[in-house]
Each structure stands twice: as C-alpha cells, then as structure tokens.
Structure 1
Amino acid sequence: MFAIPLAWLQLKREKIRLLVALAGIGFAVILMFLQLGFQDALFDSAITFHRNIEGDIFLVSPQSTSLIAMKSFPERRLYQSLGFSGVKSISPIYIGFGIWKNPFWEGPPMPQTRSILVIGTVPGDNIFSLPGFRERQAQLRLSDVVLFDSASRAEFGPIPAKFEALQPGDMPIATEVENRRVEVGGIFQMGASFGADGNLITSDLNFRRIFSSREKNLIDIGVIQLEPGTDLQATLERFKQNLPGEFRVDPQKTPEQAKEDFVVGDVRVLSKAAFVAVEQNYWKESTAIGFIFTLGAAIGFVVGTVIVYQILYTDVADHLAEYATLKAMGYRNRYLLSVVFQEAIILSIMGFIPGYVLCIGLYSLTRNATALPIDMTLARSIVVLCLTVLMCSISGAIAVRKVQQADPADIF
C-alpha cells in the first residue's frame, strides 16, 4: 500500500488545487479554533472570581442566577452559620455595577464612562487569592480607596501604567464611581469577562458609600470557611437540617447535586464546586452565547467537509481512467479506497498545521483586544485536530463512491 506514495503524488501533481484545499481546510480549522476558544474563554472568565475565593460553603439568594445578576439576602443568615460546629470564619461579599469615569479621557468635554463591577469585602478577611490583592489589601482600610483590576479593558483608561509610574509624593489617581470620588490605592489582577469589562475591589464601608441607596443589612454572597479537617458533607447536612426556614431542592437536580446545592428559607447553600457550577451552567444553558459558539464550530466543520469533498471528488474524477487501469492490473477496490483516504489524512494534517499557527497569533490579538483569558491549550488542539481528521475522513468516505464506479472497460 505504501510502496508507492500514490496519494501524495496525486495531490502534489495539481499544486494550485492542493493550495486551495489547504486554504479551505485551514479556514475551517481557524473557525473551529476561534469558536471553541471563545467558548472556553467565556466559561473560564465567568468563574475566575469564584475560583479565587477561599471558602468552603457559600450562601447566596435563591433568586441569584450569576455574578452579573446577584440578588441580596439578609446578612443575619450568614451570622447564623457561626452557630454550627466546624465553622472557622465568615465573610460577606457585596456585588454591584457602578459607572466608572475614565480620569485620563482626552476626547469630547464629557468624560468617558463605562460600567464596572464593584466588589466589596471586609478588610482583613483575606479571602481572595487574586494576584496582587493581598499585597495591597491594607489600602482598603482607607476611606474612598479602591483596588483596580489591571486586566480590565483599555476603555477604563491606562490605570495600571499610570499607577506603576507614580513616585513618592505624587498625587494619587482619582476618579469617580457612581458620582463619588475615589482613589486607586492598588492594582490586582482578575480579568474581564463577557459579563463585566472591568473590576474593582473596595471595603464594605466604601462599597456602601458608593452605593448609598442599598440597605445596610443586605449582602450578596456569604463565604464560610471551615476548620481544617471538617467534613464538608456533614456540615452541609447540618445546614440543611438546622437553618431556619423550609428546606427544598430543585427536582431537576441529581441526588449528588442536591447534597451540595439546596435552599433553606431565603438562602441558597452551596459548596465551592456547586458555586462554580451554578455560574458555568448559567452561561451554558441560560444564555445563547454558548450555543452560538458551538454552532460556529459546527459550521466550520461542515464548511471544511464540503471543501475537502469537492477537492477529493475532483481529483478522483480526473484520475478515474487511472483507477480503472489499476483495477485492470489486479488492484482491488480496497487499495483504491485506501488511496483516497490517505489523501484525506494528508490534507487534514497539512491543513491543520498552518491553521494552528495562525490561531496562536489570533488568540494573542484577541486577548490583547478584549482582555479575555483565551490561550492555545493542548486539549483544544487535540480536539480540533481530531475534528479535522474526522472532517476529511467523512469527505473521503463520500468521494470514494466515485472510485467504486471505475470500470476497466472505460479505458478501452
């Protein structure tokens, strides 16, 4: 079968056709890489905040659906958890979207404004493991001081660069959030997402000053840390049995999910894994974004299949007489079919390589333009490579029907 590289010799004979085929396959590879990359960036950016909270059990309102749609609940429910054995500490988190005014805007007279996610926390609770947060969290004890996310979109202004350029004695960077003057006291890194273009962290007192209309006894997320060695499932069961209010579970949840995600009264109790899963499921199932990206990847797959089929079908049609001659010489259909499949595999590998290289650059361009965490991963590369091989194999399977029609009598 491989003594004479017939498949490769046929492909390289028509160099223009080969280049067109590789361009079409490369386009399909790029489309699949981009769509799957955007989808992964969506899910990863959505849970960056959740992953970087150091907590074991989380309390939220049953009406909360995601980080961008949080509903408040009474803070006393968080304090009630201190009565359970194994609870080490509790920390409230406040979530709100405020209007940020770009302090370095040099456009029209009206300053540029943009919505930004504001996170309030109690100074000293030390519950975030975000890069740069712990080094600067002492600044949150000061009035009207915020920490700015260095991975926010550029539309908020060159805050990270300006902050790093400050010298002792320089005036701090000052701007407005919700029409209240604040100063940037430090930089941390979390990253933009499809729900929030930028992020701020401030103290609980400063948060209330910025959002003065909010009731003081309401919080958005309750974080509970357990003593080392405490059984998480046993603690969750105690919460289920002893928190005031009626216990209920979504009937659509599996028994395993119900152990880590349930509602008692006016509060939803989740383990950290369930807290992350709720956010991911919101973007996967409750929005059209995940479906759109999956559909885009499927379209790339179909487009590539059609392109490869056209190339292989044309190649087979051009060499039909040669295939008939091989049959007359005693070669069986199995050998001739293998030649077509070899062409499909060669095209898939040769088309994948330039598409992969170009996508690395496109990922970098997208990451710089949108601040989304989109990078080339080994798992995604393997998935797209397998899809490319499958795409070309399907095309080959359709095109081989023409080979079966090759009749030695056709050449006489």
Structure 2
Amino acid sequence: MDKIQFSDVVLFDRASRPEFGPVAEYFQQGKVVETEVDNRRVTVKGLFTLGASFGADGNLVTSDLNFLRIFADRRTKGLIDVGIVHLQPGTDVQAVVEKMRATLPNDVRISTKAEFVEFERKYWEESTAIGFVFTLGAAMGFIVGIVIVYQILYTDVTDHLPEYATLKAMGYQDFYFLSVVFQEALILAILGYLPGFGVSLVLYNLGRNATSLPMYMTVAKALTVFVMTLIMCGASGAIAVRKLQAADPADIF
C-alpha cells in the first residue's frame, strides 16, 4: 500500500473484466504498465483481487491525493463516498456505531459491515431492474417446478388408482396415502436436486469466468435451494393426493 503514496500510482484489480486488457499479466511479467484514467496517465505498481460487480467492471486503489489529481472535480463535490473505521479487538461495535450516529450529521450513514452488506444486497434486489428480473425468474422457476412435479405425481396416482382404491377399501386412511405420495415427492426432490446441484456448480464457474463476478456456490445457498425444493415437491404432493382423497372404491370397481 505504500506504493500508492507516490504520484500517479495505482493498484489494479486482477479480477477485473478482460476488456481492460492484460494489465495483470504484463505486471507479473515485470513490464512497466502505464494507462490512462479520465485522461490522466497513471502507472500500475501492484495488484489486488476484488472482482467486478453489477456496478463496476473493474477496480483501482490509489491514495487520496492521487484520487483528487485524477478526478479534480471531486474537490468541490466531496471526497469521501465510503469510509472504513477499524476498531481495536474487543471493542463494542454497536456502541461505537450508536455514538457515531449521534455525533455525525444525518447525511452520513453509519453501518456495521454486516449492515452495509445487507444494504447493498437489498438495493440490488429491490431497487434495480436486474434484481427484479432475478427475483421474477426464481419465482417462475419455483411455480413451474411445482407444476412439473404435480404432473408426475398426478400421473403416477392415476395409473395406480385401482391399487390405491383397494387399499382404501381395506381400511387404510387418507394419512397413509398422503405419506406414500409425500415419499414419492421426497424421492423426486432428492433425485432432482443432486444433478441440479452439479449443473449449478458448472454454471457458476462459467458465469464467474464470463463476467468476472465473484459468483460462488456456498453451503447456505445449497441448503436454501434444497429446502425450497422440498417445499416445492411437498406442495405438489399435497395437491396430487387430493385425487386419492376423492376416490371411491365403488366407483373404481
């Protein structure tokens, strides 16, 4: 970080999108890498890894003085957009946050790291078109999944309706049939989830390489999707079992 104290020196994000050119490769080969940022010539003196995002295709790190040299108009508009405050280990973070909120003016937002991450996530999910598209796609996928699983279970129930009617005539209650259909739904959920998980890992890798976005499959994501898959198949089973509840053995035979 001491390198950025020199005039017109920046650090380059090696995980930036490829349209910025092979900056990281040239630097690692020992070449002098010079480029322009807002019509000002700068020199790359180091690398770091952050990754692109929906709002930025690449990132640079430099000092406050170099920042003002590159973006001279920010002298009048204000220098700081986001600042980081490091606390000593063992400090009551929430108490410091509350004190800063009480001290600083209302136009300054004070957040913990977790609160800032949640704020950014909610912004992209709820306040942007791409967030709406992703949410709509997930909802439509869930609904289509319910319909497909329902059709599979309904067809199976219809094909074996005489057998179910026989069991019903023997005194088996609706709860038994519900458990049978739910077992089938559980099997479908597991058999569908496992290959889907494998395909998702491949798609995550392809998406990460194509967009330079830090897309990774986490345990939390995998568990969330598995639970949603169970709910989806359970809902389909609950709808399909109504066919059995309405079946009358006298009508079947």
Residue 368 (1) aligns with residue 209 (2) = yes
Given the superposition, is the C-alpha separation of residues 336 and 151 from structure 1 closer, same or farther in structure 2, using an over 3 Å criterion?
same
Distance in 2, matches of 1:395 and 1:235, equals: 47
Distance 1:336 1:394 in 2: 15
SS at match of 1:365: helix
1:334 to 172, 175, 185: 175
Look up the equivalent residue of 1:140 and give its one-letter code: I
CA distance in structure 2 between the aligned counterparts of 1:177 and 1:345, rounded to whole angstroms: 56
Q: Contact 1:360 / 1:376 at 8 angstroms: preserved in 2? A: yes
RMSD between aligned alpha carbons? 2.6
Higher helix share: 2
The answer to whether 1:272 aligns with 2:112 is yes
Per the TM alignment, residue 138 of structure 1 is displaced from its structure 2 partner at its CA by 2.4
Distance 2:77 2:250 in 1: 90
Letter aligned with residue 290 of structure 1: G
Which of 12, 24, 31 does residue 148 from structure 1 map onto?
A: 12
**Structure 2 residue matching 1:219: 3-state secondary structure:** coil
Structure 2: give runs of 5+ residues left out of the alignment.
none
Q: Indicate the residue corresponding to 2:102 in structure 1.
A: 240
Amino acid of the residue matched to residue 146 of structure 1?
Answer: V
Q: How do 1:91-170 and structure 2 match up within 5 A?
A: 137-166=1-30, 170=31
The one-character-per-residue Cα deviations of 1:132-180 (angstroms, maximum 9, x if unpaired) are xxxxx222133222110011111111211221122xxx4x012211122
Percent of paired sites with the same residue: 58
The Cα of 1:390 is off from its aligned counterpart by 1.0
2:88 and 2:176 map into 1 onto residues whose CA distance is 68
User: Of residues 144, 164, 173 in structure 1, which corresponds to 2:33?
Assistant: 173
Match of 1:44 in 2: none
Asked if 1 retains the 8 angstrom alpha-carbon contact of 2:24 and 2:47, the reply is yes
1:355 is matched by which residue type in structure 2? Answer: G
The amino acid of 2:99's aligned partner reads E
* Greater RCO, 1 or 2 (C-alpha within 8 Å, sep 6+): 1
**Structure 1 residues 312 and 205 mapped into 2: Cα distance closer, same or farther (>3 Å)?**
same
The within-5 A match list for 1:249-288 is 263=106, 267-268=107-108, 270-273=110-113, 274-288=115-129
- TM-score for the superposition, normalised by structure 1: 0.55
From the superposition, tell whether residues 409 and 369 of structure 1 become closer, same or farther in structure 2 (CA, over 3 Å).
same
Given the superposition, is the C-alpha separation of residues 346 and 145 from structure 1 closer, same or farther in structure 2, using an over 3 Å criterion?
same
The TM-score normalised by the length of structure 2 is: 0.86
Check whether the contact 2:10–2:46 (CA below 8 A) recurs between aligned residues.
yes
Is the CA contact 2:4–2:63 (under 8 Å) kept in the aligned structure 1? yes
Looking at structure 2, the residues matched to 401 and 410 of structure 1 have their Cα atoms a distance apart, in angstroms, of 16
Cα shift at 1:225: 4.9
| Deviation sequence 1:240-267 (CA, Å, 0-9, x none) | 35x6xxx6xxxxxxxxxxxxxxx1xxx5
Deviations 1:64-114 (A, max 9, x none): xxxxxxxxxxxxxxxxxxxxxxxxxxxxxxxxxxxxxxxxxxxxxxxxxxx
Q: 1:313 maps to what in 2?
A: 154
**CA pair 299-326 structure 1, distance change in 2 beyond 3 A:** same
2:69 corresponding residue in structure 1: 209
Given that residues 321 and 406 in structure 1 are in contact (C-alpha distance below 8 angstroms), is that contact kept between their aligned partners in structure 2?
A: no
Match of 2:142 in 1: 301
1:235: how far off? 8.0
Measure the CA separation in 1 of the matches of 2:154 and 2:77.
71
Measured after TM superposition, the shift of residue 285 of structure 1 is: 3.8
Partner of 1:81: none
Whether the 8 Å CA contact 1:148–1:200 is kept in 2: the answer is yes
Q: SS at the partner of 2:10?
A: strand
Q: Decide whether the 8 Å contact of 2:12 with 2:61 is kept in 1.
A: yes
Displacement of 1:182 after TM fit?
1.7
> What is the alpha-carbon distance in structure 2 between the residues aligned to residue 275 and residue 215 of structure 1?
26
Going from structure 1 to structure 2, the CA distance change for 1:225 and 1:217 (only over 3 Å counts) comes to farther
Tell me the CA shift for residue 302 of structure 1.
0.5
Residue type at the aligned position of 1:299: M
